[in-house]
Structure 1
Amino acid sequence: MTDTRYSLDDIRKNVSRIDNALLELLAERRTLSLEVAKSKISTAKPVRDQTREQELLLKLIETGKQHQLDPQYVTQIFHTIIEDSVLFQQAYLQKLANPDSANPSARVAFLGSKGSYSHLASRNYFSRKQTDLVEISCSTFRDIFNIVETGNADYGVLPIENTSSGSINEVYDLLQHTSLSIVGEITQPIEHCLLTAVETSIEKIDTLYSHPQPHQQCSEYLHSMGNIKQEYCSSTADAMEQVAALKQPNVAAIGNASSGELYGLTAIQSNIANQQENFTRFIVVARKAVDVTSLIPAKTTLIMSTAQKAGSLVECLLVLRNLNINMSKLESRPVIGNPWEEMFYVDVEVNLKSATMQQALEELTRLTRFIKVLGCYPSENVAPTDVDIIE
C-alpha cells in the first residue's frame, strides 16, 4: 500500500497557493517596471536595454539549473515577462506623450461580431492600454474606415497582413484615400480549428463557412478533405453564428476554438492552417495622429508614387539604405483610376520626428510624384533577446 503525505485536495490547495503567490509577485514586478520607465524619462534612456536583458536571462538560467529547471523553460517564461514589461512601459510613456488621447474608455470598430479575430485583436491591444472598450461590430473594412472618419468611433482595428496568406489588399487600397492615421499595431496569433455545432466526424463535413482569408490560410488542409463546398462569410464570427444556427452534422466553421465556445461550437480538429506559426498583423487607425516618444521603438508607414521610368523605385530605396533606415515592409498596389500606375506602401523602423527620417522624407519628396505619411506609431513587436543556452 502506498503511503502519501498529502491528499489530492491538499496538493491542489498548495498548487493554488503557489499560483496566487506567483501572481502577486508578477504584479509587484510590473509595478517596479513602471518605476523603471519613470526613471528613464529623466535619463532619456530607451525602454529596451538588450544587453541588460541578456545578462538577466543568463543569470536566471543558471539559477534555474540549481532548482532543476530546464533552461528552455526558464527562457520561455522570462521572454513573456520581459515582453509584458516592455509593452507596459511603452503604454505608460505613450500616455504621457499623448495626454489628450489617454481616455479610460474608447469606441472601437472592428470586423465581425464578438469572437472574430479582429475582435480578439481589439481586446488584446486595448487591454495593454488599460482602456475599457465600447465595441462596434462592422460587416466590411470600408464600414470601419467610414465610422472612424465620421467620428462615430475613436479607433478602427484592421488586419493588414498574414504570415500565411500575405497582404490584405482591400485594406491597403482603402488606405490610399483615407484621412485617418495609423496609431498602433498588434500581431495576433491565428489558431484555426474546425468547429461544429453538433457531434459529428470530419468525414461527414461537406460544407465549410468562414471569411475568405481563413479559407486561403487553410487551403492545404481543405484540399486534403476532398470535395468541400466553401461558403464565404463577412467574418469568422459570422461563420460561427451561421453554423450554430444550422446545427447540422455536415457543416463546420473555421475559426478560433475559444471564440467558438461563445457560439456553443466545439473544435473537432485543431491546427489546420498551412503554417503552424500563423500570425496576422493588425493596424489601429484614428482621426488624430499620435506622438511617439523617442524612448520607445517606432515605425513609420508611408505611401509614395514614383516616376514612370526605369530605376525610380530603386532611387527611393537607396535613400533609405544610405541613411541606414531599416525597411520592414514594401507593398505595391495599383492606383485606382490610373492603369499601370503603382502606389508603394513602405514601413520603416524609425521615428517620424527623428532627424534621419525627416532627411529621408525631404529626399523622397524630390524623387517621387506623390508621398504621404500614413502614421508613426509604437512598434509592438518585442523580439526575444537571444541567449546562448549551454546545457
Structure 2
Amino acid sequence: MTEPHYSLDDIRENVTHIDNEILKLLAERRQLSLAVAKSKIQTAKPVRDQEREHALLLRLIERGKEEQLDAQYVTQIFHTIIEDSVLYQQAYLQKLTNPDSLQPTARVSFLGAKGSYSHLASRHYFSKKQTKLVELSCNTFRDVLHVVENGHADYGVLPIENTSSGSINEVYDLLQHTSLSIVGEITESIEHCLLTAVDTQLEQIDTLYSHPQPHQQCSEFLHALGGIKQEYCSSTAEAMQKVAELKQPNVAAIGNATSGELYGLTALKGNIANQQENYTRFIVVARKPVNVTPLIPAKTTLIMSTAQQAGSLVECLLVLRNHHINMTKLESRPVIGNPWEEMFYVDVEENLKSELMQSALEELTQLTRFIKVLGCYPSENVKPTDVEI
C-alpha cells in the first residue's frame, strides 16, 4: 500500500494548523497557571515548587522519548514554559499586592530612540505585565531619572550591569542622589552585530559607531580589526541612525540585528561580543516603592557607607551571613566630594519586610555611617530547574 502524496502547500497547511493548536494550548496552560496562583493565595504557598518542577521535567523527558523527541529539546521548551508560568503568576500576585499600581497604560523613559537595548528591555518587561506603553526616549541616564522624578514618566528603565563589561558606573552614581525606588528588574540577552547600510566587506570598515558600553563589550573583535576608528554615541539607536544617514561602505554600527532593520541596516557580522553569552541586567525605577508578596522571590537593594577603619565592611557583610541572607551583588563607588570614601551598593535575595531582613537592617544601621534602601522588588531571574539529561 503506497503512502498518500502531499504537496508542499498541503504540508505547510498542516504545519500551520499544528502551530495554531500549540498556541491555543499554551494559552490554556497559562490560564491554568493563573488558577494555580489563586489557589496559592489561600494556602500561602510560594509560587515556585522546584521539587515538583523537577519531577515534571523528568516525566516529560520520558514521555518525549516515546514520541522520538530529544531530551534536551523537551527540556529547553519546558524551561521556557515554566519561566513564563512563574513570571505570569508573579505579575498577577504583585497586582493584587499593589492595587494602586494597576494601570492599563504606563509612561516609560529609557535611553536612546526606538531600537536601543534599553527600549527593547522596556518593551519586554512591560509586555509581561500586560501593560501598554507610552515611550519616552532620553539622551542620557540622568534624563531617564529626571523625567520620572518630575512626574512626566511613571517608570524609568536603566542598565545596571553586563556580564562582559561589568557594572555601569554612571547609573550607580546617579542612584546615590535620586529619590526614586527600584521596583523591578529584567535581564536581557545582548546580541551585538556589525550593522551596515550598504553592501560592503568587513575589510572596508574603518569607522564604527556605538554607545561606549558595546564598544567595551566587543573590544576583542575591534582589536582584531586593527586601526578602527571608534565613534561614541549616546545610544545604540543613535549609532544606527547615524550609519543609516551616512550610507557609506566604510562605516558600521554595533547593535541588535532586529533593531537595525528599523533603520534599514543589515548585519554584516554577528556574535561579535567578547562573551558568547552576553547579558545586561536592567532595573526599573518609580516614584513610589512597591510591596512584594512573600509568595514570590524578592530582592532588596541598599547603599551604605561604613566607618573608615579596618574591618568595617567585613562586619557589615557578616551581619548578612549570620542572618543567612544571600548577597548577589557588592559594588563600591567613590563618594563625590569626599576623597577615598566609598559608598557600597548591595543586592540581597530577601524581602524587605521579612523578619530576617528587618533584623539585619537594625544591626547594619548601628554599624554604618549611612544606609538607605533603594528598593525591594520581585526577582525576575527564574533559574531553570536542573535535570540530568
Q: Do they superpose with TM above 0.5?
A: yes
- Structure 1 equivalent of residue 350 of structure 2: 350
User: How far did residue 202 of structure 1 move?
Assistant: 0.5
Could you tell me how far apart the structure 2 residues matched to 1:336 and 1:194 are?
37
RMSD: 0.8
2:273 is the alignment partner of 1:273: yes
1:39, distance to aligned residue in structure 2 (A): 0.2
Tell me the CA shift for residue 4 of structure 1. Answer: 6.4
Q: List, as ranges, runs of 4+ consecutive aligned residues in structure 1 with deviation greater than 6 Å.
A: none
Corresponding position of 1:28: 28
Paired position in structure 2 for 1:62: 62
1:212 is aligned to 212
SS at match of 2:42: helix
Q: Offset at 1:102? A: 1.1
Matches within 5 A, 1:117-156: 117-156=117-156
Aligned to 1:299, the other structure's residue is in SS state strand
1:241 partner letter: Q
Q: What is the SS of the residue equivalent to 1:248?
A: coil
Structure 1 residue runs of 5 or longer lacking an equivalent are none
Give the corresponding residue for 2:190: 190
Q: Distance in 2 between matches of 1:284 and 1:132?
A: 16
Aligned residues: 388
- 2:271 aligned with 1:254: no
Deviations 1:74-118, CA, capped at 9 Å, x for gaps: 000000000000000000000000010110000000000000000
Aligned partner of 1:157 in structure 2 is: 157
Unaligned runs of 5+ in 2: none
> What is the alpha-carbon distance in structure 2 between the residues aligned to residue 329 and residue 17 of structure 1?
47
Any idea what the Cα deviations from partners look like across 1:109-129, whole Å, max 9, x if unmatched?
000000000000000000000
Question: Are 1:106 and 2:78 an aligned pair?
Answer: no
Counterpart of 2:71 in structure 1 is 71
**TM-superposition CA deviations, 1:133-180 (whole Å, max 9, x none):** 000000000001111000010000000000000000000000001000
- The letter of the residue matching 1:315 is E
Paired with 1:215 and 1:29, the residues of 2 have a C-alpha distance of 42
SS at match of 2:108: strand
| Counterpart residue type for residue 338 of structure 1 | N
Which SS does the other structure have where 2:136 is aligned? strand
Q: Distance in 2 between matches of 1:50 and 1:4?
A: 46
2:56 corresponds to which letter in structure 1?
L
| Aligned twin of 1:230 | 230
Aligned to 2:374: 374
In structure 1, C-alpha distance between the alignment counterparts of 2:189 and 2:66, rounded to whole Å: 34
Q: Distance in 2 between matches of 1:273 and 1:387?
A: 30
The alignment partner of 2:134 has SS state of: strand
What does residue 83 of structure 1 align with?
Answer: 83
The residue aligned with 2:11 is 11
Amino acid at match of 1:132: K
Q: Distance in 1 between matches of 2:226 and 2:375?
A: 44
Quick one: distance in 2 between partners of 1:252 and 1:10? 43
Query: 1:340 offset after TM fit, Å?
Result: 0.4
Alignment of 1:225-374 (within 5 A): 225-374=225-374
Structure 2 Cα separation of the partners of residues 4 and 339 of structure 1: 81
Quote the Cα distance in structure 1 between the aligned partners of 2:149 and 2:78. Answer: 40
Partner Cα distance (1:256, 1:62) in 2: 38
Give a deviation string over 1:275-303, Cα, whole Å, max 9, x none. 00000000000000000000000000000
- Mapped to 2, the partners of 1:340 and 1:150 lie a distance apart of 33
1:388 Cα offset (Å): 1.4
> Residue 3 of structure 1: CA displacement?
8.1
